[in-house]
Structure 1
Amino acid sequence: MAAAAGRLRTRLAAGWLRLQMSALPIGQCALAAGGAWFVANDLVGHARPFFAPIAAVISLGISLGSRLRRTAELVVGVSLGVLVGDALISVIGSGPWQIVLVVALAMAAAVFADGATLLVGQAGASAVLVATLLPPGDAGGFDRCIDALIGGGAGLLVAAVLPADPVGPVRREARALLDELAAVLDATAGALRDRDPEAASKALARARATQPLIDEMRSALLGGHEVTRVSPPLRRRRRELGRFAELAERADYAMRNTRVLIRRTYTALCDDEPAAPELADVLNELAVAVRALTAQLGRDGDRELAREPVIEVVQHARQLAGTFTPGPSEVVIVAQVRSIALDLLQATGMSRQDALRAMRGDPEED
């Protein structure tokens, strides 16, 4: 009973968190829908302008994406569906086979025109609405197109006046990606320390499953840039988004290098090759350095503070390599540690040349 109550509380807490995170997009959709209906019905004078609020909601959506393109696809799709539906239903009437024909022709026209998923879907959906809700011969195809344009415009206006935080979702996705990178490095260190090939195999599978995190961060970046385009007051956040774009690129490279490191660790353990147990400590330290970078992703954080832990990892790896003659796998592991460190330093804003100089311990140039 207690366990069931605990699961229920966990689900309720998760649901409440999702609701809090989606509160602004939901409010945007609701305001845009009401505003679009008011403009189309009360100001323009269109009867039953249901396409206006539909277009407003779809143009905004719950999540950010390519909103400007989506609005254009929405308006074109609705226009095609309405025009094809009006032209045919007024001649052939409405019924099951008429709906089949109208939907097929509207979607075929949309595929021919562009082929975008939203455009094609809206063309088909609009044709259905015309074929089922509007009486045959009811003029109004042009009005429905105007309604779609009003709805799309209302969505963009609400997004500009009540914009979402362009950086918050990007920061959240960046933290998730870096947390996973640190966890994978810790798991690899444990496998190396225990000489456990199965644990190394699991760490490799986990590293290979991180691509969706990278894709989600890039999607959040796209949405953030779009917010700054439609909302002039937020254009000053573009520089911060640029820093996160560089971090996303370097985190992607770091994860790729980590996969190479884990594959070599797995091979060494399966083939019973020697691997200095101190290398596991280096990997743990690298995970700590990744978490130091994650800790600096706050609004007022300074990523320069994350550089020193990374440089210390490189120095430790260099000192360790000088205490013994490394085998083939150990050479690869140390090389990948250096590559990951280089990626992390560049993620803090350093140039490649400055990062290499810091890793070598060279003094800074004036």
Structure 2
Amino acid sequence: MALQAGIAAIAAWLLSHELTGNPNPVFAPLAAVGTLAVSVGQRVRRIVELVVGVALGVLVGSALLSVIGTGPWQLGLVVVLSILTAFALSSRAAVVIQTASTAVLITTLGQQTTNVELTRFVDALLGGAVALATAILLPVNPLRVVRRAAGPALRTLVEQLTETAEALCERDIERAILARTRLRGNQEELRVLREAVAGAREVTRLSPLSWRYRHGVLSHYARTAEPLERAMGSSGTLIRRAVTVIEDKEPVPAAMIDAVRGLAEAVRTLHDEFAARSEPHEAQAKALQAVHRAGAAYKNDIGFSGTVVLAQIRTTASDLLVASGLSQADANQRVRCAFGGLPDPS
């Protein structure tokens, strides 16, 4: 990323200097670096927002400058009208910011600097184009980006399921509540994972150097994002009900604790197998083992919340199987067989 930004800044400065004759171009390298600084999967959109925002700012600022002149109150009016115009056409924050800043620049410098409107617009185009070219010719490794993003989300799920199993074993209500709270705070990790997967897809579409990543482990991670988010939600319900099991002093058979631990181990193995670029067969087996233990626990004397915990183990395991590459129908069928003690159809 640092190398990309440095090269893009140099290229944008040189292009702006040579094409527009600007002796000290500033906005072109700023636009290039700013485009590369956003999340990988948003760079094309960032370029569009940059150009649209600058165009709107040039339009509004130039129109008002010729009518009301310059001055402090004129500047304030230009900013207000620029933002309102941008909001009317787009709710994207980047468009609004670029529109307002460009209008301010034109209002304050338009009288002292010739062709400031054209220079600003050309620099926006140059900076965005250089950033896109740099991302294509010097792409980041999409696998590294996705692995870095997936790790925290998967580790959070593993840790909180493990904590829940220990809380059930010890009937430690505080430990279970803490696990519930920590899992609720994983939305940012899931957002980062979704953006990383989208970014990896963008890189593999745009850059020939990354086409080899389109399939294999990257496709595993791409499939993982949505079912992993569902697994997080199911696990959240599981942990909430585990808290109730402890509060209501419901029976906690050993098989239930083993099932939750097994689910955590399945998530850990899924992550390890993806990182090793191997097919997640072991993770699938461990998820089904967890479901089998849940089925054994269901035959014991358990309370209402306990049955919900077991149901969520089934649901979470199904989501993990989908994340591993199975179809939803196949995952559901295997989970039903494992829960009922029937042989795995595979």
TM-score normalised by L of structure 1: 0.84
Q: 1:184 aligned to 2:143?
A: no
Pick from 264, 267, 272 the counterpart of residue 295 of structure 1. Answer: 272
Equivalents in 2 of 1:226, 1:315: separation in Å? 40
Aligned to 2:180: 204
More moved, 284-293 vs 62-71: 62-71
Aligned to 1:246: 223
Aligned to 1:280: 257
| 8 A Cα contact 1:90 1:136, kept in partner | no
CA distance change for structure 1 residues 104 and 328 in 2, over 3 Å: closer, same or farther?
Answer: closer
Q: 1:336 aligned to 2:319?
A: no
CA distance change for structure 1 residues 61 and 163 in 2, over 3 Å: closer, same or farther?
Answer: same
Equivalents in 2 of 1:321, 1:232: separation in Å? 53
Q: Deviations over 1:51-81 (max 9, x none)?
A: 3222212222253242112111101211222
Tell me the amino acid that sits aligned with residue 214 of structure 1. Answer: L
Equivalents in 1 of 2:328, 2:251: separation in Å? 32
Equivalents in 2 of 1:92, 1:209: separation in Å? 51
| 8 A Cα contact 1:250 1:344, kept in partner | yes
Equivalents in 2 of 1:191, 1:265: separation in Å? 8
C-alpha displacement of 1:349 = 0.9
| 8 A Cα contact 1:89 1:137, kept in partner | no
Tell me the amino acid that sits aligned with residue 318 of structure 1. Answer: G
Aligned to 2:47: 71
| 8 A Cα contact 1:275 1:329, kept in partner | no
Equivalents in 2 of 1:261, 1:139: separation in Å? 63
C-alpha displacement of 1:158 = 0.7
Equivalents in 1 of 2:234, 2:80: separation in Å? 48
C-alpha displacement of 1:136 = 4.0
Aligned CA RMSD, in angstroms, stands at 2.3
Tell me the amino acid that sits aligned with residue 319 of structure 2. Answer: D
| 8 A Cα contact 1:106 1:127, kept in partner | yes
Give the % identical residues.
39
Tell me the amino acid that sits aligned with residue 144 of structure 2. Answer: G
Q: 1:153 aligned to 2:129?
A: yes
* SS state at 2:142 partner: coil
Q: 1:195 aligned to 2:195?
A: no
Q: 1:224 aligned to 2:170?
A: no
| 8 A Cα contact 1:28 1:159, kept in partner | yes
C-alpha displacement of 1:155 = 0.9
Q: 1:121 aligned to 2:111?
A: no
Q: 1:257 aligned to 2:199?
A: no
Q: Deviations over 1:34-64 (max 9, x none)?
A: 2112112114434544332222122222532
CA distance change for structure 1 residues 139 and 169 in 2, over 3 Å: closer, same or farther?
Answer: closer
CA distance change for structure 1 residues 114 and 357 in 2, over 3 Å: closer, same or farther?
Answer: closer
TM-score normalised by L of structure 2: 0.89
CA distance change for structure 1 residues 353 and 362 in 2, over 3 Å: closer, same or farther?
Answer: farther
CA distance change for structure 1 residues 319 and 111 in 2, over 3 Å: closer, same or farther?
Answer: closer
Equivalents in 2 of 1:57, 1:133: separation in Å? 23
More moved, 276-285 vs 172-181: 276-285
Aligned to 1:30: 6
Equivalents in 2 of 1:330, 1:182: separation in Å? 20
C-alpha displacement of 1:164 = 1.1
| 8 A Cα contact 1:71 1:152, kept in partner | yes
Aligned to 1:12: none
CA distance change for structure 1 residues 287 and 108 in 2, over 3 Å: closer, same or farther?
Answer: same
Aligned to 1:109: 85
CA distance change for structure 1 residues 167 and 342 in 2, over 3 Å: closer, same or farther?
Answer: same
